[in-house]
Structure 1
Amino acid sequence: MNYTIKLSRGGMQNMQNNHFFSSTVRVGPQQYICEEGVLESLPDHLRQLDSSNILIIHGKESWKKARNYLKNIYRSNFSIHEFLFSGECTETSIDQLKELIMESGVDTVIGVGGGKIMDAVKYAAYLADRRPFILIPTLASNCAPWTPVSVLYHADGSFDRLDVLPAQASLLLVEPRLIIDAPREYFIAGMADTLAKWYESEEILAQSVFKESPILTMARAAAKLCQTTILEKGQQALADLEQGRLSEEFRSVSEVIISISGMVGGLGDDLARTTIAHEIHDAVTIYPESHQFLHGHKVGYGILVQLAVENKWNEITKLQSFYRSLGIPTSLFDMGLSHLTESEIDFIAIQASKPELPVHHLPYPVNTAIIASAIHKLEAF
C-alpha cells in the first residue's frame, strides 16, 4: 500500500520542541449528497462516471430494504452484477472481493450496507486497480462511508488492524428514509462512536503547538460539533428513529455520525483519528463475550477508560448518565467481562498502549500500568 503518514508515531515530544508537524488531509468523498429521494438520481451519477458495468456488493437484511430505493438503475441500460457479502471484513474477504471485481470486469463498484461492507468495498476497489466506488450506507452506525480507512478483523471477530487507503469514494449517497429504517442499536452505537471523536482528540489538539494550524483548528471544531450534537440531540433523535420521524434532530445526528465524525480524522490525520478509546475497543475484541456488542458500544466504554486515565471523573459521571439512558456499557461488567483476571486486564492494557500506536500523541504518559489502573478504578467507580 503506497501510503505514508507524514507524522511519525511517538513523535509528540519532537513536535513540541520544534513546533513542526505534518499531516495528510483527506477531507472526504468526491461528492456527498444526503437528501430524501437521492437514490432516484443514481443512474445520472453513474453516467457521469461513464459507468456501464456495475457490481453491487450488499448485505443480507439491509438489502431487502435498500433494493426498493434502487429500482431506477435496474430500469436503466446498465449491466448489473450483485454479490452478497457476509461475515467479517477480513484480509481474505477483501482479497476475494478484489478477485471478483477483476474477473467480472466491472467499471464501478457500489457498496450497500453497514460499516463492514463499506470498509471491504473501499479496500477491494482500491486493490482492483483503483476502481471507482460508490457507497450507500443503510445504517448511521459509524463514519466508515466517509473515511479512507478500513478496519480489518480476524475471522473470529477479533481486531486485526486499521489501514489508511489513498482513495475515497467517488460518491457517497445517504437516503434518510433508509437510514431511519434501521435497528435502534446501530444508531446508538453510532452515537457512542461519534462521541469518541472529541474525547480522543481534544487533549492533543488543545495544545498550543497545534492551535496555530487552521486545518487542525477545523478538525477540533468538527470533533466538538460531534460531542455537542450527540449529547444535546441524541436522545430525541433516537426517539424519532423509533417513531420513524425524519426530524431535524434525527437528520443532524445522522449526518454527524456519518460525515462530520469522518471529517475529524480526514482533517486531523493521525492526531485526530483514534487514541485510547478505540484501542480499548480493539483489545477487548479478543474476548468472545464482547462480540454481542457493536463497535460503537465498545468504543463508548473505551471513552470512559480514557477519561479515567485523565482523571476526569465529573465528565465520566455525566457520560454514564447519558450511556445508561441509551444502554451503552459503562463497565466490563456491563459487557459480560467482569470475570477477567488481572493478567487478562493487563493484556487489554498492553494491547492498548503498544509503542507504535497513536495513543502516544497524547500529552501525557500512556503505558500498561496506567491503563490497567484506569480500568480497575472505572469498575469501582
Structure 2
Amino acid sequence: MEPQIIVRAAPQEFICRPGSWGSLEQHLQKRGIRRVLVVRGNRSWTAAEPYWPQLKETEVHYHVYSGECTYRERDVIAGYASEHQLEAVIAVGGGKITDLVKSAAAQLKLPAIILPTLAATCAAWSSLSVMYDEQGAFIRFEVFASSNALVLLDPAVIAASPSELLAAGIGDTLAKWYEADVIIRHLEAPPVEVELAWDAARRCRENLLRYSSAALAAVRSGELNDALTRTAETIIMVAGLVGGFGEDYGRTAGAHSVHDALTAIPETHRLLHGSKVAYGVLVQLALEGNWPEIDGLLPFYQELGLPTSLKAMGLDHLTREELLKLGERAAVPEASIHMMPRLITADAVADAVAELEEYITAGQSQTKGASIL
C-alpha cells in the first residue's frame, strides 16, 4: 500500500467570522473578478439571503441547482459560465452545491469561491468533488489540481441552519478519526504529512466530543456561541486538513465505503450523508471487533440522533441476500474499505452489519463498555 501523497492542505484564503460574507465584493475586486455565476439552492437560499451582500460593482448571474451533484448538472453550470464569459463560480449552499461548483470551476479553470450555509461536510475546504448519478447513487470522487480560491464561513449563517444537518456534519466529521486511525496506526513510519493528518483527525474527535452538545443547543435556539463556531470550523477546516495532508491515508476507509453502498438503496436517499457515514463508523468498528468503542460512542450517537442500526434507518427488512449485495457494493475493488489492514469481503461486511444489528437490538451495549463522553 503506497498511495502517492500530494498535499492539498487548504483553500487559498479562508475567513471565519460573523459578517464575513459582507467582504465578498472586496475579495472579488482584489482578484480582478467582475462577472460571476452564483449557484444556489432553494431552501438554503431562503435562510442565506438575509446574509447575502449587495454586489454593487459586480455582474451577478444566478443558477438554481437541481438537487443532485451530477455530471449533467455540472456541465449545465460550466456551459452557462462559459457562454456568458463569467470569471468565477460561487457556491452558496451545502456540500452538493459546493461540489458542483468545484467541479464546474475546475473544468473551466476558473476560481471556485465557497460561502457555506451548512456545517455538514468539509466540502467547502477540500479540493475534490463527490459525484452521484441521477438517482443519487455514488459514482466516484474527483480530485482537482487547484484549491478553492476563497472560503467565507459566517458562523451566524450556520446558526440559522437546521440542527439535524449540523448533527449529520458532526457524524461525518467524527469518521475522520476512525477512518484515518485505522489506516495510519498500522504504518511503520508515517511521513510527516500523514502524521499531521493523524493529528488533525484526532482533533476532530476531541473537538466534537467536547463542543457538539452546546453547538446543537445554539442552533436549536438560533443563537451563536463559541461552541458552534468551533464545531463549524472543525467540520469544515480541521476535517479538510485530514485529507488535505494525508491524501488516501487520511481520506476514507470503511465508514465511507458503507455509506457509498447504502446510496444504492433507494430508501436511504432521504437520509443525510453524515448520518449514513456515522452508521458506517459503527460497521467499520464491528469489522475490527472493537465493541468497547462502539459502546462508548452509543450515548453520543443517541444524544445527536445519529443512526446506530438498520432499524433506525428503516432498513431492518433487508434479507441476507440484500445484505450481501450491500457488502458487494461496499467492497468493490476500488473501495476505500480496502485501506483497512485486513482482507475485507462482501461476506465480512454483511456479517458485520448483521452482528451490529443483533448487538444493538439485544441491548448488549448497556452492559458492556463505557461512554467516551
Letter aligned with residue 28 of structure 2: L
Secondary structure of residue in 2 paired with 1:209? coil
Q: More deviation in 241-250 or 309-318?
A: 241-250
User: Secondary structure, in 3 states, of the residue corresponding to 1:215?
Assistant: helix
Q: Does structure 1 residue 87 correspond to structure 2 residue 67?
A: yes
1:200-225 C-alpha deviation (Å, 9 max, x unpaired): 110211134243x2111110000001
Whole-angstrom CA distance in 2 between matches of 1:50 and 1:278: 39
CA deviation after TM superposition for structure 1 residue 69, in Å: 2.1
- What is the CA–CA distance in structure 2 between the aligned matches of 1:302 and 1:136, rounded to whole Å? 28
User: What secondary structure sits across from 1:72 in the alignment?
Assistant: coil
Q: Is the 8 A contact 2:194 2:245 kept in 1?
A: yes
1:8 — aligned with what?
none
Letter of the structure 1 residue corresponding to residue 131 of structure 2: L
Check if 1:31 corresponds to 2:10: no
Deviations 1:179-207 (A, max 9, x none): 11001110000000000000011021113
Aligned to 2:160: 181
Matches within 5 A, 1:35-46: 35-46=17-28
Structure 2 unmatched runs, 5+: 360-373
Q: What is residue 55 of structure 1 aligned with on the other side?
A: 37
Is the CA contact 1:271–1:358 (under 8 Å) kept in the aligned structure 2? no
Match of 1:262 in 2: 240
Other-structure match for 1:307? 285
| TM-score normalised over the length of structure 2 | 0.94
**Structure 2 residue 58 is the aligned partner of structure 1 residue 78:** yes
The equivalent of 2:79 in structure 1 is: 99
Instruction: Work out the CA distance in 2 between the residues paired with 1:170 and 1:67.
Output: 22
1: CA distance, partners of 2:333 / 2:132 = 21
Quote the Cα distance in structure 1 between the aligned partners of 2:50 and 2:219: 20
Alpha-carbon distance in structure 1 between the residues aligned to 2:187 and 2:41: 45
Matches within 5 A, 1:322-341: 322-341=300-319
Q: Please state if 1:66 is matched with 2:48.
A: yes
Match of 2:124 in 1: 145
Among 172, 186, 204, the alignment partner of 1:226 is: 204
Segments of 5+ residues of structure 1 without an aligned counterpart are 1-11, 16-20
Report the more deviating stretch, 301-310 or 321-330.
Answer: 321-330
Partners of 1:179 and 1:236 lie apart in 2 by: 14
Deviation of 1:359 after TM superposition, in Å, equals: 2.2
Structure 1 counterpart of 2:93, from 97, 113, 124: 113
Which residue of structure 2 lines up, in the alignment, with residue 124 of structure 1?
104
2: CA distance, partners of 1:304 / 1:259: 24
Secondary structure at the counterpart of residue 18 of structure 2: coil
- Once the two structures are TM-superposed, the CA of residue 65 in structure 1 deviates from its matched residue by 2.9
1:236-257 deviation digits (Å, cap 9, x = unpaired): 2111211223212111111000
Give aligned pairs, total: 359
Amino acid at match of 2:20: V
For residues 253-310 of structure 1, the C-alpha deviation after alignment (integer angstroms, 9 at most, x for no partner) is: 1100011101101100011111110010110111121122100000000000000000
CA RMSD of aligned residues (A): 1.2
Alpha-carbon distance change, 166 to 190 in structure 1, aligned in 2, over 3 angstroms? same
**Aligned runs of 1:318-357 on 2, under 5 Å?**
318-357=296-335
Distance in 2 between the 1:294 and 1:304 partners? 16
Specify the code of the residue in structure 2 equivalent to 1:136. Answer: L
1:311-368 CA distance string (max 9 Å, x none):
1101101111111111111011111111111111111111111222232222222111
What is the SS of the residue equivalent to 1:269?
helix
1:9 counterpart residue number: none
**Contact 2:256-2:336 at 8 Å conserved across structures:** no
> What residue identity is the alignment partner of 2:183?
I
Counterpart in the other structure of 2:368: none
SS of corresponding position for 2:33: coil
Report the TM-score, using the length of structure 1 for normalisation: 0.92
Q: What are the residue-to-residue correspondences of 1:139-288 with 2, within 5 Å?
A: 139-211=118-190, 213-288=191-266
SS at match of 2:77: helix
